[in-house]
Structure 1
Amino acid sequence: MSESKKFSVYLMATLPIVFWGVSFAAAKVALEEADPLLLLFLRFAISLPLLLALAWRGGEAALPTKKQALVLIFMGFMGFYFHLGIQTMAMRTSGSGMANWQMAASPAAAALMSAIFLKERMSRTGLLGALCAFLGVTVVLGLGTKGAKGISIYNFGDFLITVSMLNWAAFMVVTRWLFRDGGYPPLFTIFWEVFFAALMCAPTLALLRVDVGAAARFGAPTWEALLVLGLLCSGLAYAFWYRAAAAIPVPRLMVFQFLQPLVGVVAGYFVIGERFTPWLILGGAMIVSGVYAANSHK
């Protein structure tokens, strides 16, 4: 991989983390007015036109075959309807700090799964880099701000985030396998997965008798949060992430997720006024250095 290509791929792996780092805070804002399932459906609906435009521009807009449709329906359920659904429900009781902390464990789970099922392993330098990044996450979340309450008592929402983290690691391993198969281009794949996930929401909304008309009464903050979740966190983020996933082995790609808690803490500064401490600089430097080390080898 050339240096320019490597820079492009690594940039596409970094930008989603920036978007996802603020997604938990955005979800908590939207949940003040929106039902979790309605929030999920609107998030998908907002992202679909953008994903279709990106797939069209990339020459990947096409109808799936019957075999592909069955796979994409399963992936849409696993990676979006179920994954984002339980995350959205979790944010009613789980804190954004705890959520970011738990998602930081997904690289380890994904590395183990990819080593078993895909035979993709990290070098010794990569493992040391991942360890450095994880220790940096500990410093950032534990000492990086003043006024933070720290890790709360583990509740049901936190449990859902744990399930989400394990599911996400497994989902990324299956996604990497699909891309290696060659029949599932990244933008084609992400569009249809989100499309089928949105379709799954419709009967569930009817079954649970969710008041869809409540969307007309949403205030500006809720719609702003929905736009962030739909366009950035579900649209651009997944388009970039899938492009990166097609080029980088899972263990190295997932190390980028160690950046998410750092972004979350910085977002907390602007959203709820948490103050930085010198530890944030140290922890952030450890995370960035660890991610670089894990991806610097060929």
Structure 2
Amino acid sequence: MNAALAPTGFAARLRLDALELPALAAIWGISFLFMRVAAPAFGPLALVEVRLALGGLVLAPLLWRARAQFPLRLWPKLALVGAINSAVPFALFAWGAERAPAGIGAIASAMTVLFAALVGFAFFGEKIGKRRALALLGGFAGVGVLAAGKSGGTGAAVGWAVAAGCAAAFLYGVGLHLVRRHLGGLPPAAVASATLLSAALLMLPAALAQWPAQPVGARAWAAAALLGLLCTGLAYALFYRLVARIGAARTSLVTYLIPLFGVAWAWLLLGEPVTAPMAAAGALILAGVWLARREAH
């Protein structure tokens, strides 16, 4: 009986995986919309504090379950990774969201894969073959198109937002290597909670100093809460669930979908235009990501 039901169960799981991957991309894509809505009311630092704290608390039960694997001597390392992989990139994306359309940050975030390859080459002795070199050139060409093009904001503001998004993607690339080399073997979702909560503690003094003097409206609070609970805490949980079930390589396909969802959400819900420079930049960056992943495998 069990053997007869096994194919049906397997097919159902495949269908679930096929739905969960685009669902994760949609959740991470809409995070840029939430930042665009909430950042002007909160400011970058206060918004990031809310995001980190709520995201870390969602995953806190997983950290508590694995607490024996997190001795006190490990926490300075967790705090450093939290700053590099969460606090500063989140703040950079939020800062950019005050100045440029949500789609700009979503497209720039795809550079994470390329920066991870560059960081691996520069600091960890990893090789870059011809395809990855071409991928990096294509990606940086896309960044140039994105920064130079008129994309729903003033040229200077868009350029600075692209720079902030690329700096955030670079830090994500550094964070990937740090987690892999220094936190490997620990439960990934528990690590995510520990780094988020550590980052929240690090950011707290600056966030309190920059807390908005005027009351924050319900719309901005809702966007901030969804950014923390849905786009950070629950999204991380879904990400690690997918990694466990279908592997890191297949889960990384989400990289291709996040910019598409980010731009689509901003167009659908905020009425932000999809400009020719945004489309060209996205195509160049995603082509670079595709080339980089082909060489990696």
Q: TM-score, normalised by structure 2?
A: 0.70
SS of match in other structure, 2:70: coil
Contact 1:62 1:188 in 2 (8 A): no
SS of match in other structure, 1:190: helix
1:189 match: 191
Output the CA distance in 2 between the equivalents of 1:37 and 1:263: 25
Contact 1:48 1:195 in 2 (8 A): yes
1:172 match: 176
In 2 relative to 1, CA 123–155 (structure 1 residues): closer, same or farther, beyond 3 Å?
closer
Output the CA distance in 1 between the equivalents of 2:58 and 2:203: 19
1:79 to 77, 85, 88: 85
Q: Which amino acid aligns with 1:223?
A: W
> What is the Cα-based RMSD across aligned positions, in Å?
4.5
Contact 2:62 2:190 in 1 (8 A): no
2:261 to 260, 263, 270: 263
Output the CA distance in 2 between the equivalents of 1:11 and 1:173: 29
CA drift at 1:225: 0.3
Contact 1:48 1:194 in 2 (8 A): yes
Alignment deviations for residues 202-258 of structure 1 (CA, whole Å, 9 cap, x no partner): 22234x35357x5xx332211220122011111112233345567426xx7655312
1:47 match: 55
Alignment deviations for residues 143-183 of structure 1 (CA, whole Å, 9 cap, x no partner): xxxx964994553333222211111111122223345x31x
Q: Which amino acid aligns with 1:49?
A: L
CA drift at 1:270: 2.1
Contact 1:24 1:99 in 2 (8 A): yes
Q: Which amino acid aligns with 2:176?
A: M
* Larger mean Cα displacement after TM superposition, 188-197 or 102-111: 102-111
Contact 2:24 2:254 in 1 (8 A): no
- When the two structures are aligned, how many residues end up with a matched partner? 273
Matched, 1:20 2:28: yes
Identity, in percent, stands at 25
Output the CA distance in 2 between the equivalents of 1:270 and 1:178: 41
SS of match in other structure, 1:235: helix
SS of match in other structure, 2:42: coil
SS of match in other structure, 2:248: coil
Contact 1:47 1:234 in 2 (8 A): yes
Output the CA distance in 1 between the equivalents of 2:51 and 2:60: 15
Unaligned ranges ≥5, structure 2 = 1-9
SS of match in other structure, 2:98: coil
Output the CA distance in 2 between the equivalents of 1:55 and 1:7: 29
SS of match in other structure, 2:40: coil
Contact 2:57 2:193 in 1 (8 A): no
Q: Which amino acid aligns with 1:168?
A: Y
Q: Which amino acid aligns with 1:159?
A: A
In 2 relative to 1, CA 61–19 (structure 1 residues): closer, same or farther, beyond 3 Å?
farther
Output the CA distance in 1 between the equivalents of 2:211 and 2:115: 35
CA drift at 1:104: 1.8
In 2 relative to 1, CA 248–226 (structure 1 residues): closer, same or farther, beyond 3 Å?
same
Matched, 1:210 2:220: no
In 2 relative to 1, CA 120–243 (structure 1 residues): closer, same or farther, beyond 3 Å?
farther
1:222 to 220, 223, 248: 220
In 2 relative to 1, CA 185–118 (structure 1 residues): closer, same or farther, beyond 3 Å?
farther
In 2 relative to 1, CA 151–54 (structure 1 residues): closer, same or farther, beyond 3 Å?
farther
In 2 relative to 1, CA 93–151 (structure 1 residues): closer, same or farther, beyond 3 Å?
closer
Output the CA distance in 1 between the equivalents of 2:196 and 2:172: 15
Contact 2:31 2:227 in 1 (8 A): yes
1:199 match: 201
Contact 2:25 2:254 in 1 (8 A): yes
Q: How does 1:1-298 map to 2 (within 5 A)?
A: 14-55=22-63, 59-62=65-68, 64-114=70-120, 149=152, 152-153=155-156, 154-178=158-182, 181-182=184-185, 184-206=186-208, 208=209, 210-211=211-212, 214=214, 217-242=215-240, 247-248=247-248, 254-273=252-271
* Larger mean Cα displacement after TM superposition, 224-233 or 106-115: 106-115
Q: Which amino acid aligns with 1:202?
A: L
Output the CA distance in 2 between the equivalents of 1:254 and 1:97: 20
Contact 1:86 1:164 in 2 (8 A): yes
Q: TM-score, normalised by structure 1?
A: 0.70
